[in-house]
Structure 1
Amino acid sequence: MRHRKATVPAVAGALALALALTGCGGSDDGTARLSVASAYMPQPVSDLAAGFLTITNEGEAADRLTSVSSDVAGQVTVHETVDGSMREVESLDIPAHGSLVLESAGNHLMFEQLKRKPTQGQKVAVELRFAHSDPVTVELPVKPATYRPTTGH
């Protein structure tokens, strides 16, 4: 029986396939995998506005929402609500295989020093920044001031 020597490309390909099949180098590589859904902003009735959304992390590692910016406001801050009391925080945790829900009467974004008041039907772009993941830009549709979602929060 004749034996052929394996070529370097063939060995490298076989090794890559073996690593992929065993889970090494797959999507669960110890990083956060973030997605954003259910985003909206109630139409502002003053010089402040709120923003709500859900950040889902399907990754193996936790992350944190650390800051937010938007061209519609001089400042966007992250707020936590505990026992009905709201306070600004430096960050909010996004657990591995979990979600951070920003909702009315709960944790939320505050748009301060509005440069213009967005109206129903418009969209407001925001950039979400995280402790470990790359920034994500999201468009928040402006809903009626009294809007309350029926799902997603």
Structure 2
Amino acid sequence: MNHRTTTHRRALAGGAIALVAALALAGCGDGSDSKDSADKPELEVSGAFIPEPTMDDMAAGFLRIDNKGAADKLTSATSDIAGDITLHSSKGGVMKEQDSFDVPADGELDFTRGGNHLMLEKLKRKPKQGEKVAVTLHFQKSDPVKIEVPVKEATYNPEQQGESAHGSHKSH
């Protein structure tokens, strides 16, 4: 390798390093631009309900999470009434436990009868129609969201009732 080739390669390497540094600095800002708020999830929970359980130790929970910001992930749920709450998907009549659910940017995550749902397990007491059950939703990025979930009749289905989701909870 001669001196001219070595000098040319060093110049190219130096130029590449300068370009990477410039691009990295271009991504830095003072945090005052509107993109900063778009980098955070903005979650709102609505339409939550638990059908009155037929079993003494297990109940299902349904809700909707709307997100007007960046993507997030529902990682778990907790409640004083349940020893454990697991996340489940249902496809083609097959129920499968999930570790988490994506909450898409500028989108929604629906937990509906026959689809995704929360499974309240090891119930400490069986909730009755008319009560409200405190549930806390835990996310990868957002602060936990505490909701009061009404217990409805066992056959309740808001899609069949023609009801709109009433009552919502926002993340802060």
Tell me, yes or no, if structure 1 residue 91 matches structure 2 residue 100: yes
Tell me, yes or no, if structure 1 residue 52 matches structure 2 residue 66: no
The alignment's TM-score, normalised by the length of structure 2, stands at: 0.72
Distance 1:117 1:146 in 2: 16
Deviation string, structure 1 residues 64-96 (Cα, Å, up to 9, x no partner) = 100000011110000011222111110001000
Tell me, yes or no, if structure 1 residue 105 matches structure 2 residue 114: yes
Unaligned runs of 5+ in 1: 1-18
Structure ranking higher in helix proportion: 2
- 1:63 maps to which residue? 72
The alignment's TM-score, normalised by the length of structure 1, stands at: 0.81
Cα RMSD after superposing both structures: 1.9
Structure 1 or 2, whichever has the larger Rg, is: 2
Tell me the CA shift for residue 28 of structure 1: 3.3
Unaligned runs of 5+ in 2: 1-29, 166-172
Q: Which of 136, 141, 150 is the aligned partner of 2:150?
A: 141
Q: Residues 38, 131 of structure 1: CA spacing in aligned structure 2 closer, same or farther, 3 A cutoff?
A: same
Tell me the CA shift for residue 29 of structure 1: 3.1
1:1-153 aligned at under 5 Å gives the runs: 24-25=33-34, 28-46=37-55, 47-59=57-69, 61-149=70-158, 150-152=162-164
Task: Quote the sequence identity (%).
Answer: 50
**Matched AA of 2:47:** S
